[in-house]
Every structure is written in C-alpha cells, then in structure tokens.
C-alpha cells in the first residue's frame, strides 16, 4: 500500500511505496527554521520508493552549509523531504505531509542540545539524543 502525501497548496503530490520506517523528531536549529515550530517529525524511506506524482517542477532543494539537503514546495513553502533527498539512498519524509493514515510514529528525539528557550520536550517516554542518533 502506498502512502500519499502533498504540500499545503496541493501543487506537489507524492507517494511513498510500502511503509515508512520510524524516524525522529528533529529539534536542530535548521529544522526549527524550516518548520516554523519546534522541529520536524520524520519517517524514513528509501529514495527509490518515493515517487513525485505531480509538481516536480515546484520542488526546490536547499543544501545548508551544515547538515543534509532539505526539499520544499516553492509555491507554499511546505517542507517535504530531508536527509539528502533526492541524491541520498534513504530520505526523511516529513510526516505532516502524509495524508494517508498510517501506523508508526517517530521513535526518538534528536538534537535535543538545540532546544530553544521557548521549547519543552514532551514527556512521551521516547529516547532522546543530544546530537544525531548514529547517522
Ligand atoms: Zn505547495
Ligand atoms: Zn533537524
């Protein structure tokens, strides 16, 4: 079963074949800036399982000086993929972009050393890592 995803304006639609592997809540400063919130919520997928159905021309990829490339919709700004997509073997898929209900949720909080003064980690029992969790 494929999961269907889209950006806020609907210009970009994509599918992820198969299940998303559990990913991380990332609290790094880059993810805060691109999300407008406390960070990103991610699943992992093989890059070759991600298919852009519509709006490939709207996608822009930004490579920060540090960290992996982030891809967003140039019309509405929705953050869709990270982890180096489309050139990496696996990619982060931003969970808010996925419209299909699915099981699974992030299993850890990473980059907790970058917590903002206005940010509180939820008491959800998930593992927490100061930095990336071994990747
Ligand atoms: Zn859009
Ligand atoms: Zn991050």
| pLDDT (tens place) for every residue of the chain, 135 residues total | 799 999 999 999 999 997 789 999 999 999 999 999 999 999 999 999 999 999 999 999 999 988 899 999 999 999 999 999 999 999 999 999 999 998 889 999 999 999 999 999 999 999 999 988 754
Bridge partners of residue 14, in order along the sequence: 5, 52
Distance (Å) from CA 129 to ligand 1 centroid: 32
- Counting ligands in written order, the one closest to the CA of 69 is 2
Task: Report yes or no: 26 and 39 within 8 Å, Cβ to Cβ.
Answer: yes
Name residues whose C-beta falls within 8 Å of residue 107's C-beta, 6 or more positions apart in sequence: 22, 23, 24, 126, 127
Proximal ligand: closest to the CA of 73: 1
> pLDDT value at position 19?
77
Starting at the edge strand found earlier in the chain, the sheet holding 70-73 runs: 59-62, 70-73, 79-82, 90-94, 40-46, 21-26, 108-110, 127-128
- C-alpha 53 – ligand 1 centre gap (Å): 13
> 120 C-alpha vs ligand 1 centroid, how far in Å?
29
* Interval between CA 17 and ligand 2 midpoint (Å): 24
Q: 133 C-alpha vs ligand 1 centroid, how far in Å?
A: 30
Distance 113 CA to ligand 2 centre (A): 11
Of the bound ligands, which one is closest to the alpha carbon of residue 12?
A: 1
Largest CA distance in the chain: 41
């Amino acid at each position: 079963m494929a999961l269907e995803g889209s950006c806020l304006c609907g210009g970009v639609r994509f599918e992820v074949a198969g299940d998303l592997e559990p990913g991380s809540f990332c609290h790094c400063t880059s993810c805060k800036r691109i999300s407008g919130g406390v960070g990103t919520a991610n699943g992992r997928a093989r890059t070759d399982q991600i298919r852009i159905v519509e709006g490939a021309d709207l996608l822009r990829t930004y490579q920060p000086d540090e960290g992996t490339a982030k891809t967003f919709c140039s019309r509405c700004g929705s953050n869709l993929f990270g982890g180096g997509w489309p050139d990496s073997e696996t990619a982060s898929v931003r969970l808010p972009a996925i419209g299909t209900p699915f099981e699974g949720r992030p299993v850890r909080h990473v980059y907790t050393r970058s917590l903002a003064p206005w940010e509180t980690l939820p008491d959800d029992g998930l593992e927490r890592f100061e930095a990336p969790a071994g990747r």
